[in-house]
Amino acid sequence: MRPAIVDEFDPPFILSEPTGQTIPFVFNAPHAGAIYPAAFLAASRLDPMALRRSEDAFVDELFSSVPDLGAPLLAARFPRAYLDLNREPYELDSRMFDGRLPPFANTRSMRVAGGLGTIPRIVADGQEIYQSRLPVDEALHRIEWLYKPYHRTLRGLVRRTAETFGQAILIDCHSMPSSSVSRDDGIKADIVLGDRYGTSCATLLIDLVEAALRGRGYTVIRNKPYAGGFITEHYGEPALGRHALQIEINRALYMDERAMQKKPGFGALSADLSIAFAQVISDLEGEFTIRPIAAE
């Protein structure tokens, strides 16, 4: 019998598949979830709008056309403030919990120290989430019933794609507050691409994605301030033909950040992203083996 923690989201994540996957891409939106359980809201010292500041609002909708390109899209429905999928499974702050954490928990990472572990202590603007400590079992249940099934599904998609096409390209889709992308030279990035400073994907891939987005009129920078988190680092193994690239989109392009509502330009941005990745897919033909490997 599955616990109530799963039923609260029903389902916890959505996998949108093309009729048949025709390209070696997998798209992932781990921070787009916007369902806030009543018990979580009751335990928080913040109002729902403050909690939503950590959310990559509407990113799953921005990329909703990728199944039409021939690739699957996986998107979480639970929010980042509740459980962060872009972390190790057990990056936990012992100060947040009543009870003893498992001995294998990573309690000393920089992300934990900053309040942004697997179970975050703060929202994106630095406000404390909880009124009091949580039971350790609460954290472990979230990891067991939400985090692990999500990553099993994501690993399965990447594995299936690699087996079918000879390689897999994971595009990890995020958004960023407009305040986080000011540059000393006065330039504000529309999009930040993160490849862990050249370690998580082939240079050709990030070159083509940057060129396609610039071709649509967007200002693109690399790795600053976002080089990619756990997902990019963990799933990106270029030597094995598994590439991971993080894309961060400036929220001011498509939403009112204060009201958490879409702007009229939302549809145009979504269309531009689809066109840009269609261009990348076309450009990769002949560079990557994107035709399915014949079944033995």
Which CATH number is 15's domain given? 3.40.630.40
206-249 pLDDT, tens digit each = 999 999 999 999 999 999 999 999 999 999 999 999 999 999 99
Distance CA 284, CA 46 (A): 46
The two tokens of residue 268 are 């145009």
Residue 279 lies in a domain: yes
Residue 237 lies in a domain: yes
Residues 6 or more apart whose CB falls under 8 angstroms from that of 99 comprise 135, 136, 137
Structural domain of residue 25, as residue ranges?
4-43+55-79+149-284
Does the pLDDT of residue 292 top 60, yes or no? no
Residue 117 lies in a domain: no
Q: How many domains does the chain have?
A: 1
Secondary structure letter of residue 118 according to DSSP = S
Residue 130 lies in a domain: no
14-41 pLDDT, tens digit each = 999 999 999 999 999 999 999 999 999 9
The confidence band for 7, taking pLDDT boundaries of 50, 70 and 90, is confident
- This prediction's pTM: 0.94
The two tokens of residue 126 are 């630095």
